[in-house]
Structure 1
Amino acid sequence: ARHPMPRMRTAAVTTLLLVPIVAGGFLLQEPPARASAHLFDQVRSLVTTRYVDSLKDTQVFEKAARGMVKELNDPYSELLSPKESDTFNRSTNGRYGGTGMLLEQQPGASVSVQRVFPHTPADEAGVREGDRIIAVDGVSTLGWEIDKVSEKLRGNPGSQVAVTYARPGVTEPIKLKFTRAVVHVPAVAYTGLFDQQVGYIPLQTFNENAAEEVSAAVEKLEQQGAKGIVLDMRDNGGGIVDQALAVSGLFLREGQEIVSVHARNTPTEIARARGPHIGSNIPLVVLVDGSSASATEIVAGALQDHDRALIVGTTSFGKGLVQSVFPLDGGYFLKMTTGKWFTPSGRSIHRERQLLPDGRFVETHPDSLETDSARKTRPTFQSDAGRTVYGGGGIAPDVIVTDDTLSTVEQQFLRSIAPRGQIVQGTLEGYAFELKGTVKRDFVLSPSWTSEITRRLVQRGVTIEPRFQSAAERLFGRELEHRVARMAFGDAAAKERELRTDRQLSRAMDLLEKAGTQRELFTVAHAVIGARH
């Protein structure tokens, strides 16, 4: 059912309308401020009249404003131009006028199609995953970054755009013309029921449809017989805060605290679950990692503090700042940090970071290895049931499971073929497309497939050194199996095949299969942690 909570179309921000204030009114300023304002006015006057190159007043003022925001040393505060504001608004909305393609770009390569959303102009025109975009409206995309290609493909619904593709195995370019349409980008792209008892929900973003889609997914999986649910929020960078509150409210009792906001010179604001509660007490595991941020951390923190979910994976990113968006004259917007998020137990979600001279923001006090012993240096808090949860920024999981990493040889091999990445991706995609109609759901990867991929790549000028042969076969085989399964049987089937290589999801399923209730799930997890020591 649709969640009734009012929606604020912001990305972890609160949109405010400002009361105009007087700027530069010397009579209203204290003496130190008056002197500083006079200093700024003197510098501005000299720059605009005496600097070797001519500068317009508008340029000087904009640069000064951007410099002021930059000096806050805050990666999340920025002055948005009218064009940047449009991009920001699109990123917080699940709908846009476009063609329905998810794009990707390998280093040094052109932009290609990673996914085609169903029932969109691209889908109906026959665009394939792996197609390379070589021209838009007759203009070559050579040298374009992915953001520029994406911008050119978007536009008002009903307008047209011409796109030229290069397809692996096809010698001539493919020219297509699309009529842009409103495209719905799902928050939950698919669901899966693994081992006939564990439901899987990958929540990839908190757009305006997130709560509705999660609710529908839980209902569907329970009807299919799910005895437990894995809510996968790895790589989910956040989104609309109202939707994070709504998703949390699906699993919490009405009135339970979800998150509080501590801001300057204002009373603490507390957001509480308002329903509708989906009425399900099904055991729940939430997966997080270092790319889980912002709105994602609000959900994970609330469910952990109220003992409604077991958190598995690695510590989340730690983006616990509230951004407010202030409309300015001329179509500009100021996105600025105005508060911090705290979980119900009192943990600050934010992990402090500092600006380095090279422009990178890094943690002020980085964690050591992700281990049970290392996190004991963090401040501790208590969940509703008295379980220990850890502060210090980000959401620390109840059960730490690090992701698989590539071997040194595999990493070296990938670096060696990186300059030909576009050819490799296109060859894999093209061969997977050929194979998809020849396999059954329980197909087994054939050694002949990896041999054929290697043969085609060598034929196309990709060199595979003998010392990398075994690594190439493993990586190509894994990637080919995934693509064939996804193309032939869908995302859920492909994900189920990854269970043996996805350690975090595999551990979540193992824990759920041993527990019939949420309390039993915590008991099982506690036993697993205790067995390590």
Structure 2
Amino acid sequence: MSRSRKSLLFGLALIPLMVGGFVFQQRESQQGARLLDQVLNIVSTRFVDTVDAATLYEKAARGLVHELNDPYSVLLSPKELSTFNAQTNGRYAGIGMEIAETQGSITVQRVFPHTPAEAAGVQEGDHINFIDTTNIHGWTVSQTSDALKGNPGSRVLVKFSRPGVPELIPITFTRAVINIPAVPYAIMLDGKIGYLPLLQFNESARDELETSITRLSRQGAKGVIIDLRGNPGGILDQSLSVSNLFLKKGQQISSIRARNGENQTFIATDDPVAPTIPLVLLTDGRSASASEIVAGALQDHDRALIVGTTSFGKGLVQSVFPLEGGYALKMTTAKWYTPNGRSIQKERKLLPNGDFVEVMPDSLETDSVRRSRPAFRSDAGRVVYGGGAITPDIIVRPDTLTTTEQKVFNAFAPKTADVRVTLMDYSLELKKTVRPDFTVPPAWREEFYRRLQAKGVTIDHAQYEQAGSEIDRLLGNTVARLAFGDSTAKRRSIPDDNQLVHAIDVLKQSTSQKDLFAIAQREQSAASASARR
């Protein structure tokens, strides 16, 4: 028998096996579907109590997704999908103010610029009493927020009370799409160091960041710090656009690898806006997803020095599949990788109680932990570490509370809501009396203690006084933010932010990105030598 004939017969023999395997899988799927339908039918018709069939099907679907053992795959109800879209886009139809619960009422904490609330003259400290004809006394922040939101162009009547004004203030608003800023401010610090927080990757993140970087450059910034701490991510396309602000045209930004082989590589398509300005990124354990794509790309290409603590490690691609009835399935379909091939996803295992724990430690403070992570090389040959998440070039842990301070704040914990309400009410009073360079006198701390006691928050006075410096910082920063805005409050808090202080220090010592990496290398060598002693 010829070789070609043997090959043909072998191939023909495989066909029924392949078809048989497909039919077998199909038969198993059909059997599984019938099993589920049978169980649901019996439960809905024969269970001792009446059970809604639609609810049963939804719970069964949620159970199926839960069995994937993936904390990021979830079935979204129509309401959950609407919330998800609003959070992802950073936009919603409302009136443009941040609210908080104070003394059983809802108080305006912040008014966003260029919104219906600002145009109507709403002030921080105003209390919301009625929404349309409903008295909202006793409502939660969530209930109030839901009532204030609606379709763009729709109208809502809100009645406010204002300290010193005897009558309620009625204002009819036309709801508008509200854009929550990704970059709420950008400031110049001592030494011509620019600083800006990037809070989220919404639809305008790239444009806001470019505007801020350009303005700081025109003001003569010698270096820039982009604060990604606490940034949970957002729109992934924006992470690519943000990376492109700093990378050369043609450089790889990231890649995704999928189960079905539909891999993608993302390349910088435009010339950078800021190709050479020394750059530091701050990260922590809450920097995730899109934040890690940016940090990983800029680290691999030696375009930014990463300072802080290891990021969260969320390198999974979620795709949203629309379903009938307004539902949607958000499911993991691929993984993100940095340009040099590091997986951003940090390995986690599922515990019997449903919690996920990290497999790889999140610190490189010791040589033994350093050796447990795979080493990669940046474009310039620097060692960068894999194993999930983005490990900083310079690890700087945040300041921790003293034992006494921990005891005080632990005592606050059971009464968190009362502490927050008391702090907000007192700070709203104090903000009318201060100038930007104010200091916190002991009398403020004592009055705050008295008000906490009146609210039922009991704590030993001697312990409270031992934590006085932390209490003063809490009061001072809250009053500064309410009186003068976020940027003034940030300037005030810099001495207490050792991660930011360290970033400022290394930038002051540098005239180029290369200088920053040289400083990082010296600090890494010193840390390793100290660990070996």
TM category, shorter: 0.7 to 0.9
Question: Is 1:478 equivalent to 2:473 in the alignment?
Answer: yes
1:54 maps to which of 44, 50, 54: 50
1:294 maps to which of 289, 296, 299: 289
Pick which of 267-276 and 33-42 moved more: 33-42
Q: What TM-score does the superposition give when structure 1 sets the normalisation length?
A: 0.86
How far the C-alpha of 1:497 sits from its partner, in A, is: 1.7
> What one-letter code is carried by the residue in structure 1 that aligns with 2:439?
V
The alignment's C-alpha RMSD in Å is: 3.0
Residues 73 and 130 of structure 1: CA distance in aligned 2, closer, same or farther (over 3 Å):
farther
8 Å contact 1:379–1:390 — kept in the other structure? yes
CA distance in structure 2 between the aligned counterparts of 1:422 and 1:173, rounded to whole angstroms: 26
> What one-letter code is carried by the residue in structure 2 that aligns with 1:48?
S
Partner secondary structure for residue 92 of structure 1: helix
Pick which of 434-443 and 326-335 moved more: 434-443
> What one-letter code is carried by the residue in structure 2 that aligns with 1:384?
D
CA distance in structure 1 between the aligned counterparts of 2:255 and 2:235, rounded to whole angstroms: 16
How far the C-alpha of 1:338 sits from its partner, in A, is: 0.4
Question: Is 1:417 equivalent to 2:412 in the alignment?
Answer: yes
CA distance in structure 1 between the aligned counterparts of 2:51 and 2:427, rounded to whole angstroms: 56
CA distance in structure 1 between the aligned counterparts of 2:100 and 2:353, rounded to whole angstroms: 26
Partner secondary structure for residue 89 of structure 2: coil
In the other structure, the counterpart of 1:74 is 70
CA distance in structure 2 between the aligned counterparts of 1:54 and 1:513, rounded to whole angstroms: 70
How far the C-alpha of 1:223 sits from its partner, in A, is: 1.2
1:99 maps to which of 95, 98, 104: 95
In the other structure, the counterpart of 2:12 is none
Pick which of 458-467 and 35-44 moved more: 458-467
In the other structure, the counterpart of 1:343 is 338
The correspondence of residues 195-206 of structure 1 with structure 2, limited to 5 A, is: 195-206=190-201
CA distance in structure 2 between the aligned counterparts of 1:282 and 1:492, rounded to whole angstroms: 22
The correspondence of residues 68-217 of structure 1 with structure 2, limited to 5 A, is: 68-103=64-99, 113-125=108-120, 127-129=122-124, 136-137=131-132, 138-140=134-136, 142=138, 144=140, 146-163=141-158, 177-217=172-212
How far the C-alpha of 1:370 sits from its partner, in A, is: 5.5
Question: Is 1:333 equivalent to 2:328 in the alignment?
Answer: yes
CA distance in structure 2 between the aligned counterparts of 1:109 and 1:337, rounded to whole angstroms: 41
8 Å contact 2:247–2:275 — kept in the other structure? no
Residues 134 and 396 of structure 1: CA distance in aligned 2, closer, same or farther (over 3 Å):
farther
8 Å contact 2:104–2:137 — kept in the other structure? no
CA distance in structure 2 between the aligned counterparts of 1:165 and 1:393, rounded to whole angstroms: 49
Pick which of 212-221 and 430-439 moved more: 430-439
| Partner deviation per Cα, 1:154-175 (whole Å, 9 max, x = no partner) | 1123323345668789999877
Question: Is 1:526 equivalent to 2:521 in the alignment?
Answer: yes
Q: What TM-score does the superposition give when structure 2 sets the normalisation length?
A: 0.86
CA distance in structure 1 between the aligned counterparts of 2:412 and 2:157, rounded to whole angstroms: 32
2:229 maps to which of 229, 234, 238: 234
8 Å contact 1:314–1:370 — kept in the other structure? no
CA distance in structure 2 between the aligned counterparts of 1:466 and 1:80, rounded to whole angstroms: 48
Pick which of 157-166 and 83-92 moved more: 157-166
Question: Is 1:512 equivalent to 2:507 in the alignment?
Answer: yes
| Partner deviation per Cα, 1:303-340 (whole Å, 9 max, x = no partner) | 00000000011111111000111112222211111000
CA distance in structure 1 between the aligned counterparts of 2:90 and 2:248, rounded to whole angstroms: 27
Residues 221 and 37 of structure 1: CA distance in aligned 2, closer, same or farther (over 3 Å):
same
Q: Which has the larger radius of gyration?
A: 2
| Partner deviation per Cα, 1:498-521 (whole Å, 9 max, x = no partner) | 121101111100110000000001
How far the C-alpha of 1:299 sits from its partner, in A, is: 0.3
Question: Is 1:382 equivalent to 2:377 in the alignment?
Answer: yes
Residues 471 and 36 of structure 1: CA distance in aligned 2, closer, same or farther (over 3 Å):
same
CA distance in structure 1 between the aligned counterparts of 2:413 and 2:346, rounded to whole angstroms: 33
8 Å contact 1:318–1:393 — kept in the other structure? yes
8 Å contact 2:310–2:362 — kept in the other structure? no
8 Å contact 1:131–1:167 — kept in the other structure? yes
Partner secondary structure for residue 151 of structure 2: coil
Which structure exhibits the higher relative contact order, with contacts defined as CA atoms closer than 8 Å and separated by 6 or more residues? Answer: 1
More helix per residue = 2
How far the C-alpha of 1:487 sits from its partner, in A, is: 3.8
